[in-house]
Amino acid sequence: MIGRSLSFIAALAGFCMLPGSGNARDYGQWEGTDPETRAWFRNLKQPDHPLVSCCGDADAYFADEYEIREGRVFARITDSRGNNVPVGTMVEVPPHKVNRDPNITGHIVIFLGGPPKDPFVYCYVPGSGT
């Protein structure tokens, strides 16, 4: 079982580090980001796989609105900086994907992969008070 988990983590980490893997995109939306914020994005880890990156700023979306329905969190994409997932899209946040590291961005941030119409969550980093 441990070997399987390590294999999964290694594969996922490799997937996130491949150039052009997944739906990572950089349309210049991060060009003006200060070095401290860029380092924050690069150092975040998945809470359920602490050796695996959240995948980086190209997979990050601002999700400054959220709803709680029957104890489940749904994040609404509020980011229109050239990303694939449209503004207004609601994404369910699995509880094991909530990262409690300090958030320095001033925004709730969700890291997504997969197709824009059915994305999956790498990490969800609440803002203060969320």
Query: Within the chain, which residues score under 70 in pLDDT?
Result: 1-32, 82, 128-130
Tell me, yes or no, whether 111 lies in a domain. Answer: yes
Q: Count of domains in the chain? A: 1
* pLDDT at residue 37 in the model: 87
* pLDDT at residue 38 in the model: 85
Tell me, yes or no, whether 130 lies in a domain. Answer: no
Tell me, yes or no, whether 116 lies in a domain. Answer: yes
- Distance in angstroms (rounded) separating the CA atoms of residues 60 and 64: 12
Model confidence, pTM: 0.75
Tell me, yes or no, whether 29 lies in a domain. Answer: no
* pLDDT at residue 21 in the model: 39
* pLDDT at residue 5 in the model: 41
Tell me, yes or no, whether 79 lies in a domain. Answer: yes
Tell me, yes or no, whether 6 lies in a domain. Answer: yes
* Residue numbers of the domain that contains 63: 2-22+34-125
Q: How many of the other CB atoms lie within 10 Å of CB of 42?
A: 12
Tell me, yes or no, whether 10 lies in a domain. Answer: yes
* pLDDT at residue 32 in the model: 67
Tell me, yes or no, whether 45 lies in a domain. Answer: yes
* pLDDT at residue 80 in the model: 81
Strands (DSSP E) found in 1-130: 45-46, 49-53, 60-62, 65-69, 72-76, 90-93, 109-113, 120-125
